[in-house]
Every structure is written in C-alpha cells, then in structure tokens.
C-alpha cells in the first residue's frame, strides 16, 4: 500500500476506523476492542482522555467530559472542557486523531487521508464541520460519505442489478432510516428520516428508572440521588441491556450499592427481555413511523424493497427486527456486525478510491432459523405445533440465544423439547433435527418457567439446553449437523404428507402412519409420532404470569406519580398509600392483589383528575 486511505465512522456514541486488506474490510482494534467511545475528557491531572477512559468518568465528572459532540457539529457554539472552551470540530478532531494514530500504528506507516461518514441528513454546515475536524486532525478528507451508503456497500459493493435497500440505523443517541438505490456501484439516497434524540441512551435511562423504582419499593432508597450509585447503576443497566439481546432474562447484581441504617445494601434483581422490551416499545414504535415516512418520500411500497439492513448497536435488541419484519414483510439483515458496518463501508469506499478490488463482506450465517415446538394458545384455541424460533436465519456464527418458555399444566413434571430447522410457523412444515425430554420439574402451578438456549458454532454443531429457572435443573442435547440444508422436495413431501394426514386424521389409526411415511426422512424415528392425539408435554412461549398486570400497574404508577405533586396534602397521603399498595403487590407477585390495588388507585385518580 503506497498511500493508505482509512475509512472512519465518526459516531455520536462510538467511532471506528477500517481499511480493506486482501479484499476484505478490517476494523482496527485496540486492546481487543474495535470501538472507540466518542467521549473526550480531561483527567484530574489535566491529561487528555479519548475513548473508554473519558466515557468512564463522564457520569462522575461531567464538567471535565464531552459526550455526543456530533450533535453540535456545524453549530456556532463552544463546549467547555475543564477551563478551556472548544468548537465542536476541535473536539471531533481529538477523536479522529486517536483513530488515525490507531491505524498508523497498526499499518506501520503514516496515514494522511480518510473517508469519513456522516448521517444522510447532515446539511452543508455539518458536512463542512466534519471535513474541518478531519483537517484539524491532520487528515485530508478525500470523501464525506453518507452512513447508509456505507452500510449498503458492505452488503454489496458492486451490484450490477438495481437494488433498493432500506437502512435502519439505531445507535446510542440517534435514529436514522434511509432508503438507498444502488446500481453499478452508484448509490443514491432516495429518502431519509430520523430522530436526533432517540437511541440506546434512552433505553438505558428507561431501564435505569425501572430498576430504581423497584429498589425504592424494596428499600425506600433512591439510587438516582447519589451520583456514584447512579454512575454504577447506569453502567450496569447498559451491560444488562446488551445481554438481554441474547438472553431471555438476566440477573442484575451490584454489591454495596447503598447503605441503610449502617447496613450495606446489595442490588439483586431479575429482568426479563419481555419486561425490557415493554419499556422501550413506545420508542421503537416512533421509529416505525419514520420508516413509514421514508417509504412515502421514496414513493415505494414495502414490497419494492430488495433488502432491509440493520445498523447501529441498538438494533441487536430482537424487538427491532420483529417490528420491522411485521411492518415490511421481510426479514432484516444484520449479519454484518451492526456496530462496525458503517466503518467497514467507509473502509470499502476508501479502497475503491484507491482502486483496490473489493468483495462483499462475507460472514458465516445460519441459513435457517432454529427453534423448538411449542403450544400456542394465544389465539383462543390450543395449537400444539407452533414453531418458536430461537436462533433466527441470517444470524452471524457463532451465535448463542435464549428464550423463555412456560409449562402448560399444574404440576407438569416433564417437558419434551423438539428442535426444528426452518421458517414455517407450523413445525410440521419444518425439519425436525433432534429432541430430548427434561423430567423431574418442580411441583408447581402452570407457568413454571424454563429457559431454552441454543448455541451454534461455526461447524454447525448445535447445543440446545433447557433449564428450569427456579431450580437450575438442566438438560441438553447436541446436534451435529444443524446447518445442513434440507431439500425443497422434502418440504413438498412434508406438505403432501400433512395434507393426507389432515384428510385421515379423524379416522387414522397409528398403523396408517407407516404407509405414508416417506423414505427420505432423516431419523430412524417416525417423523410425527402420535401427534394428532398429542400427549407430548410441550411448553408455551414466554413467561406467562403477571404480564398484563405489571403493564397496567406501571402505567398507573406513572400517572399517579405525576399527580402526586399537584394534589392537596390530605389527598396526597391517601394517594401515597395506594401507590405503595400497588408497588408491594407487584413486588410480591400477587397478581390478584395487583389488579385490586390498581382498581382502587385508578378510581381515586379518576376522582382527583376531575377535581
């Protein structure tokens, strides 16, 4: 490489730098981490901090730390850092400089040129400020590239066919959706919408409030009031949030988070993905409205999109792809690491300018969804063949995901886990690749929770485990060939077999299964043993109990808290008593009491609001 050009994603929350090597994008790491948090700060001794160190001190020393400077780019303002004031491009220059040095150190040569990405809706002032930041960092900015364009480059750098791609980018503090049109290497942004005040930080804040409220109910202490407790908790909930993208529930544990009557208090709390997703759903719904507007502006119907691409760390939350798929009718791609996608695209653009030949970013993915059979009684009738995907198709490998399920019957002692590969909602159209039974479950009411986890490695070896949440009782199975494709004819065969089964189901005896059992089946077992008179003890998806009640209680509490400040003193005491009754019922998981307490609270709210 004579005169290397680097590609930089200068993000609101995180930044990265990449180049293309041997035809493939490569993101430079430091200490094993490709991400440089976009934070700039001064240490106590006045030393300049960029990245993680600055991020770590932000909550406790905000006066010495600058965050989200990208929001101010192009404005005629100054920010304070210690006793000095800086223009936004000067702060950005410090981040760019750190990235430039990271790249030069690893390339073993000086770097002078860069491609830098910006949001599609950045105006001229914002673009110029970005260019200037590059120059201040000692970089010649050879191109300012739109972020969605960069992202689409990673999926197909030189597609000859016309492609329309929707890029949904949900980062730490901002949301953008763009529709780009690509053909013969020319990429045009057709439309772009967004919300500059919506992102992962807001999700952290919601989860933070949720935890603070629960802790307050339990111990009567406001963790938000102490700056150090707040800092610790914010970091803990951010980490918890990330884990919830892959796991159905997590345990949040922080020792010595507070003190009461001279005694140390520890934080121990369980958070399910469902609870978390309920918290953020209203914000995600807002992003879906932007998606709608972007489509309208581009004058396109969802069906005209060739691809939907997810970018930004926050798109790892499974609810994002679920809502998008519902809205757009196609599965979104996220096989190129959403955190690094834009930086890789910038690296690809840099390489194209250099005249290098670049291929698409190939990653190993699972071509089929993997999941288990369960019972669905959400729609009024029992349907015992619902496919519940756990690792969805196009997930990058190795991949690990878990989902929560619950028992159907009181005192259900055992559960059969049947593992399927495929995309149909009905498992009978998918491919059964394994099964096992977990026995000896606790003698408890229906709704006993089990976490089913799938771990899939690069060689296609799939480990499926089921764990009773309350006791830790666990069983698993290893399936060797989970990535093997099954042929189209097999699907057709399965469909035909099923049609015949339906026809015969009223009269079928067990023996009938033999003659219609096709020879191409994979197992020595019968494909669908006894299923029409199913006694197989299956699970239902999700944690069943208390969902509706918790949601109702949360909404009411919020409303009541707002009113609390405005009401007369005698009403306030009564209102507080009722608030506490609701909180206690939720903490004690006494769902009937929750409903009762909510009804009482809702009555008094009605009266107070009118007064």
Q: Residue numbers of the site for Mg ion (CB under 5 A)?
A: 11, 171
Whole-number minimum distance, CB 170 to ligand ADP, in Å?
7
> How many other C-beta atoms lie within 10 A of the C-beta of residue 86?
18
Whole-number minimum distance, CB 512 to ligand ADP, in Å?
49
97 binds ligand ADP (CB under 6 A): no
**For the chain, first and last CA: distance in Å?**
76
Number of residues this chain uses to bind ligand ADP (CB under 6 A): 21
- Mask of contacts with ligand ADP, 160-189, x by CB under 6 A? -----------xxxx---------------
| Longest alpha-carbon distance in the chain | 86
Residue least distant from ligand ADP (Cβ): 200
152 contacts: CB under 8 Å, gap ≥ 6? 163, 165, 167, 180, 182, 187, 309, 345
List the interface residues with ligand ADP, window 317-336 (CB under 6 A): 317
- List the one residue from 67, 72, 87, 241 that touches ligand ADP (CB under 6 A): 241
What token pair was written down for 207? 């989860």
- How many angstroms from the chain centroid is the CA of residue 151? 18
497 binds ligand ADP (CB under 6 A): no
431 binds ligand ADP (CB under 6 A): no
Strand bridging mode 399-407 / 449-456: antiparallel
Q: DSSP letters of 118-156? A: E-TT--HHHHHHHHHHHHHTT-EEEEEEEHHHHHHHHH-
519 contacts: CB under 8 Å, gap ≥ 6? none
CA separation for the pair 71, 84 (Å, rounded) = 20
200 binds ligand ADP (CB under 6 A): yes
Q: Which does 369 bind (CB under 5 to 8 A by kind): ligand ADP, Mg ion, none?
A: none
State which residue, 201 or 418, has the beta carbon closest to ligand ADP. Answer: 201
State which residue, 171 or 371, has the beta carbon closest to ligand ADP. Answer: 171
Of residues 531, 524, 519, the one with CA closest to residue 493: 519
State which residue, 196 or 550, has the beta carbon closest to Mg ion. Answer: 196
Q: What angle do CA 297, 298, 304 make, to 5 degrees?
A: 135
11 binds ligand ADP (CB under 6 A): yes
What token pair was written down for 136? 């201040």
Q: Are 473 and 487 in contact (CB under 8 A)?
A: no
State which residue, 234 or 585, has the beta carbon closest to ligand ADP. Answer: 234
Three-state DSSP class for residue 214: helix
525 contacts: CB under 8 Å, gap ≥ 6? none
7 binds ligand ADP (CB under 6 A): no
74 binds ligand ADP (CB under 6 A): no
313 binds ligand ADP (CB under 6 A): yes
State which residue, 39 or 528, has the beta carbon closest to ligand ADP. Answer: 39
State which residue, 58 or 436, has the beta carbon closest to ligand ADP. Answer: 58
Three-state DSSP class for residue 563: helix
Q: Which does 467 bind (CB under 5 to 8 A by kind): Mg ion, ligand ADP, none?
A: none
Whole-number minimum distance, CB 312 to Mg ion, in Å?
5
State which residue, 57 or 315, has the beta carbon closest to ligand ADP. Answer: 315
State which residue, 339 or 416, has the beta carbon closest to ligand ADP. Answer: 339
Q: HSE (CB half, 13 Å, CA atoms) of 206? A: 19
- List the one residue from 242, 463, 544, 572 that touches ligand ADP (CB under 6 A): 242
Q: Which residues bind ligand ADP (CB under 6 A)?
A: 11-14, 171-174, 199-201, 238, 241-242, 245, 312-314, 316-317, 339
């Amino acid at each position: 490489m004579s005169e290397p050009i680097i590609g930089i994603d200068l993000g609101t929350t995180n930044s990265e730098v990449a180049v293309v090597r041997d035809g493939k994008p490569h993101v430079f790491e430091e200490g094993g981490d490709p991400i440089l948090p976009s934070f700039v700060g001064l240490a106590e001794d006045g030393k300049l901090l960029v990245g993680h160190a600055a991020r770590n001190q932000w909550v406790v020393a905000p006066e010495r730390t600058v965050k989200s400077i990208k929001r101010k780019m192009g404005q005629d303002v100054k920010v304070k850092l210690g006793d000095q004031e800086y223009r936004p491009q000067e702060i950005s220059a410090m981040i760019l400089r750190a990235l430039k040095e990271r790249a030069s150190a690893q390339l073993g040569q000086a770097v002078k040129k860069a491609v830098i990405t910006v949001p599609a809706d950045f105006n001229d002032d914002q673009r110029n400020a970005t260019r200037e930041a590059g120059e201040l960092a000692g970089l010649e900015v050879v191109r300012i590239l739109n972020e969605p364009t960069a992202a689409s480059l990673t999926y197909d750098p030189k597609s000859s066919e016309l492609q329309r791609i929707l890029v949904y980018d949900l980062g730490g503090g901002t949301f953008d959706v763009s529709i780009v049109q690509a053909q013969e290497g020319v990429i045009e942004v057709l439309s772009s919408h967004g919300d500059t005040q919506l992102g992962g930080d807001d999700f952290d804040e919601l989860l933070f409030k949720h935890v603070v409220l629960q802790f307050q109910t339990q111990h009567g202490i406001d963790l938000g009031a102490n700056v150090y407790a707040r800092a610790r908790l914010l970091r803990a909930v951010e980490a918890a949030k990330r884990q919830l993208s892959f796991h159905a529930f997590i345990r949040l544990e922080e020792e010595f988070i507070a003190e009461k009557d001279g005694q140390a208090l520890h934080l121990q709390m369980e958070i399910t993905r469902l609870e978390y997703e309920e918290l953020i759903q209203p914000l995600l719904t807002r992003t879906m409205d932007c998606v709608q507007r972007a489509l309208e502006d581009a004058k396109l119907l969802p069906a005209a999109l060739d691809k939907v691409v997810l970018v930004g760390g926050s798109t790892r939350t499974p609810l994002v792809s679920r809502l998008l798929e519902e809205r757009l009718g196609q599965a979104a791609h996220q096989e190129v690491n959403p955190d690094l996608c834009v930086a890789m695209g910038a690296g690809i653009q840099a390489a194209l300018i250099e005249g290098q030949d670049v291929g698409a970013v190939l990653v190993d993915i699972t071509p089929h969804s993997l999941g288990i059979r369960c019972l669905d009684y959400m729609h009024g009738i029992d349907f015992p063949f619902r496919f519940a995907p756990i690792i969805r198709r196009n997930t990058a490998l190795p991949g690990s995901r878990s989902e929560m399920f619950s028992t159907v019957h009181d005192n259900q002692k055992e559960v059969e886990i049947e593992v399927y590969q495929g995309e149909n909602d009905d498992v009978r159209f998918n491919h059964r690749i394994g099964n096992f039974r977990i026995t000896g479950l606790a003698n408890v009411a229906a709704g006993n929770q089990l976490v089913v986890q799938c771990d899939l490695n690069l060689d296609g070896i799939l480990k499926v485990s089921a764990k009773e949440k309350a006791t830790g009782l666990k069983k698993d199975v290893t399936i060797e060939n989970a990535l093997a494709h099954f042929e189209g004819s097999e699907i057709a065969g399965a469909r035909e077999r099923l049609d015949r089964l339906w026809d015969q189901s009223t009269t079928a005896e067990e023996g009938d299964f033999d003659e219609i059992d096709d020879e191409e089946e994979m197992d020595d077992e019968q494909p669908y043993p006894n299923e029409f008179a199913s006694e197989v003890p299956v699970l239902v998806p999700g944690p069943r109990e208390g969902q509706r009640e918790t949601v109702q209680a949360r909404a009411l509490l919020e409303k009541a808290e707002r009113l609390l400040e405005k009401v007369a003193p005698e009403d306030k005491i009564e209102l507080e008593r009722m608030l506490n009754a609701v909180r206690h019922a939720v903490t004690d998981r006494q769902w009937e009491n929750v409903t009762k307490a909510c009804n009482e609270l809702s009555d008094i709210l009605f009266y107070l609001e009118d007064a």
